[in-house]
Amino acid sequence: MQQIPSVDLRDFLSDDPARKQKFVNEIGKAYEDIGFVALKGHFLDDKLVEDLYAEVRNFFNLPLETKAKYEIPGIGGQRGYVSFGKEHAKGRSAGDLKEFWHFGQYVSEGSKYANEYPENVEVAELPHFNEVGKEAYRMLEKTGVYVLRALALYIGLDEFYFDNYIKDGNSILRPIHYPPITDEPKDGAVRAAAHGDINLITLLMGAQGKGLQVQNHNGDWIDAMAQPDELMINVGDMLSRHTNNKLKSTIHQVVNPPRELWGTSRYSIPFFMHPVSDMPLNCLEKCIDADHPKLYDDITAGEFLDERLVELGLKK
Q: Locate all alpha helices (DSSP H) within the chain, ordered by sequence.
A: 9-13, 17-33, 46-60, 64-68, 129-154, 163-166, 237-242, 301-311
Amino acid present at 5? P
Instruction: Report helix angle 129-154 to 17-33, nearest 10.
Output: 90
Nearest-CA neighbor of 192 among 209, 213, 167, 174? 213
How far, CA to CA in Å, does 278 sit from each of 77, 89, 170, 282, 310? 21, 25, 11, 12, 19
What phi, psi does 176 have (nearest 5°)? -115, 140
Q: Determine the pLDDT at residue 86.
A: 61
Q: Determine the pLDDT at residue 316.
A: 67
Which of the following CATH numbers is that of domain 6-311: 3.40.50.300, 2.60.120.330, 3.40.30.10, 3.40.1550.10? Answer: 2.60.120.330
Pairing mode, strands 6-8 and 266-273? unpaired
Q: CA-to-CA distance for 178 and 256, rounded, in angstroms?
A: 9
- In tens digits, what is the pLDDT along the chain, a chain of 316 residues? 457 899 999 999 999 999 999 999 999 999 988 888 999 999 999 999 999 999 999 999 999 999 999 999 888 788 999 987 665 545 555 556 789 999 999 998 889 998 899 999 999 999 899 999 999 999 999 999 999 999 999 999 999 999 999 999 999 999 999 888 777 777 666 667 788 899 999 999 876 667 788 888 788 898 888 888 999 999 999 999 999 999 989 888 887 777 777 777 888 899 999 999 999 999 999 999 999 999 999 999 999 998 888 887 767 6
CA atoms within 13 A on the CB side of 300: 10
CA atoms within 13 A on the CB side of 254: 22
Domain segments of the chain as ranges = 6-311
Q: Determine the pLDDT at residue 3.
A: 79
Q: Determine the pLDDT at residue 310.
A: 80
Q: CA-to-CA distance for 133 and 131, rounded, in angstroms?
A: 5
